[in-house]
Chain A
Amino acid sequence: MTEQTPVVTGRFGAESSDTYDGYTRTGGYEGLRAALEMSPDQIIDMVKAAGLRGRGGAGFPTGVKWGFIPRERKPTYLVCNADEGEPGTFKDRELMERDPHQLIEGIAIASYAIEAAQAYIYCRGEFAFAGRQLERAIAEAYDQGILGKRVAGSDYSLDVILHRGAGAYICGEETALLESLEGKRGQPRLRPPFPATNGLYDQPTVVNNVETLSTVPHIIKNGADWFKQWGTEKSPGTKMFCVSGDVERPGNYEGPLGMPVREVIDGFAGGVKGGKKLKAFTPGGSSTPLLTAAHLDAGMDFESIAAAGSLLGTGAIIVLAEDACMVRATYRFMKFYEHESCGKCTPCREGCFWLSQVLHRIENGSGRSEDMKLLTDVSNNIFGRSFCAFGDGAVSPVLSSVKYFADEYTEHIAKKGCPFER
C-alpha cells in the first residue's frame, strides 16, 4: 500500500477537525495570520512562486489569475467554485465536509490578496451535508472574529456568503456559475471579457476551486519551496485523486502530482476489484478522454496525462474492469451530457441529444454499421465548435472509446445487443 502525502487531507480522520477548536489546535488559521502580515502583492508572488495550478480542471496558475485583478477597480469579488459535479469527482465535497475551516482560511487569504470585501461560496445544492458543515463553520468563523469586520484582528474586513446551487452541472463552468449567482439561467458567458475584469456584477472577480483554495493556507504557512518539494516542475505540489468504479478501495487519496497512475490505482485504491484486469479509466473525470491499461505508467500531472492523449482534469479516476461494457459506460456518460447541456449552443445541445440516442440504440441492439462513423462525425462537429468547454468534455468519452474499443461497438452491432453480462 502506497503512503499518501497528506497536505489538504492532513486533518482527515483527526478528531473534530471540522470545528474551529479542532482546526486551530492543528495549526489552523496560522496561514491567514501570516498572510495578514504580508501585502497582497507578496501573497500573490508567493502563490506564483509555488506554482500552484487550479484544481478545478483547467490547471490555470492560481497566482497568475490573482495577478490579473486590476487594483483600481473596486469592488472585487472572490468566488469559490464548490459546484463539484464532474462525474467521478468527489474531492471538494469531502474537503468541505471534513475540513471546512481550511477552505474558509484559503478564501480569506485569497480575498485579502485580491482586496475583495466579499466572497461567495457557490456550493452544489445536492451537497446537503457539506453545505451544512460550511454553514456551521462560517458561523463559527464569524463568532471567532475570523470573518466579518476586522478579520483576525487586522484592519481587513471580509464577508463570506454561502450560496447553494440548485442542480445544474454547467454551473461549475465559471461564467455559468457567475450567471447563476446573479440569479439567472446558468448559461456560460461570452469570453472575452474574462471574469478577472468583468465577473460577478461585471466587476473584477476570481473564481477558484475548493481544493485550490484549501491548498493556499499551506503554501502561505510553509512557503513556496516547501510546496515545490512535491510534484513535477510544471505541476508542483500534491493533489487529491478521486478513485472510483471497479477498484477495491474507492476513495480520495492525496499524492504528489506526477505519480504514476498505476500507483494511484493499485497502491492507493487496492487495484482493480476482484483481481480483474483493467480495461479503461478516466484520468480526470468523465470529461477527459478514456485511457487504457497501456497508459498506466503515465504520471498524474498535467503534462504527462496530456502526452498520453488525455487531460488531468479533476484527477478523478473512474476504473472500468475487463468485464465492463464500454458502450454502456459511454452511453451513460453521454446521457449525463445530454441532461446537463445548458442548451445555449447548437453543437452541444443537438449533438449530445443525438449521440445519446445513437449510443442507446447500439447498446440495446439496434446499432447500424454506419453508426461508428456517425458517432465520430457528430463528436467532431461538437469538438472545438461549441460555446464552452462542456462540448469538448462531452465528446471525450465517445471519441476515446471509439478509438480504443471499436471492436466492442462492432460486436454490439453484429450481435444486435450487449455481449457483456454485468
Chain B
Amino acid sequence: MTSRGTQVRVASPVPARPPLSVDTLAAMQKLMGRYPRPRSALLPMLYLVQAEHGFVSREGMKEVGKLLGLSAAEIAAVATFYTMFKRRPCGTWLLSVCTNVSCDLAGGTKIYRRLKEALGAETEETTADGLFTVEEVECLGACDGAPVLQVNYENYEHVTEDLALSLIESLRAGNVPQPTRGERPKESNAVSRRLSSVEAKP
C-alpha cells in the first residue's frame, strides 16, 4: 500500500488567517453570555477559532483576547496548555491512535507506527494534501475497545493495522466508514464547532 502525494511538511511556518467571520463572532458573544463570567467561554471560543481557521491562529487568539479583555499572551498561555487546540493547520481527518497500556498490549503502538509510515507524516504534522494529521494520544477512555483509533474524535475500536490502513484509503476515496458508536465523523472544522458546545442548550 502506497501513499501517493502525501509527504511531510516539516515545521511549516504558521500561516496567517483572515479576521473571524461575523457568524463566529456572534457565536462567541453567545458563549460569553452563557457563563457568569465571560472568560469561562475561552475554551469554547478557541474551538470556534479552530473551526474557522483550522487551528488556533494568532489572529484568532488576538480577537478572542479583545473580546474577553485579555492580552494575547493570556490567551496563548491557555491555548498551549490543551492538546486539542492545534497550533498549525490540521488535516481534514485527525487520526488519533491511543498507545497507552491497554491499547499498547493490543497493538496500539504498532498501528500508530504503521499509519505514520503509510502517511509519511510526523506527529502533529499534516500530509501535503491537507487530508490527514496523525497523532499518538493518551488513554482515550475506551480501553474495552483496545486498540482504539479515533478519526476526528469518533472511535474505531478493536482496530488492526490492516483495518487502520483501509480506513485511510476509504477516507481518501471520500467514504467515511461507520465508527463503533454514533455518527460518522464530520470534517475537522465542523467537529471543532460542535466541541464549542455553541449549539447546546440553554
Residues on A lying within 8 angstroms of B by beta carbon are 75, 84-90, 92-93, 97, 118, 124-129, 131-133, 135, 138-139, 142, 147-148, 159-169, 180-186, 201, 242-246, 250-252, 286, 316, 318, 320, 324, 328-329, 332-333, 336, 339-340, 342, 422
Contact = CB atoms under 8 A, between A and B. Distances in A.
B126 to A, nearest CB: 18
B101 A329 contact: yes
Interface residues of B, number: 55
B82 A168 contact: yes
13 contacts: A129-B154, A135-B200, A161-B34, A164-B43, A183-B68, A184-B42, A201-B37, A244-B102, A244-B144, A246-B105, A250-B143, A329-B101, A333-B100
A242 B153 CA distance: 21
B139 A336 contact: yes
Contacts of A250: 102, 143-146
Nearest to B182: A129
Interface in B148-202: 150, 152-155, 179, 181-183, 191, 194-197, 199-202
Contacts of B40: 163, 181-183
B55 interface: no
B13 to A, nearest CB: 24
A139 B201 CA distance: 6
Given A132-B182, A135-B197, A183 B78 contact: yes
A163 B44 contact: yes
Contacts of B104: 328-329, 332
A398 B85 CA distance: 31
B102 A88 contact: yes
Contacts of A166: 43, 46-47, 82-85, 195
A414 to B, nearest CB: 24
Nearest to A94: B144
B50 to A, nearest CB: 9
B43 A180 contact: yes
A160 B191 CA distance: 22
Contacts of B105: 245-246, 320, 324, 329, 422
A124 B202 contact: no
Contacts of A422: 105
B78 A125 contact: no
Interface string B91-114: 000001001111011000000000
B15 interface: no
B87 interface: no
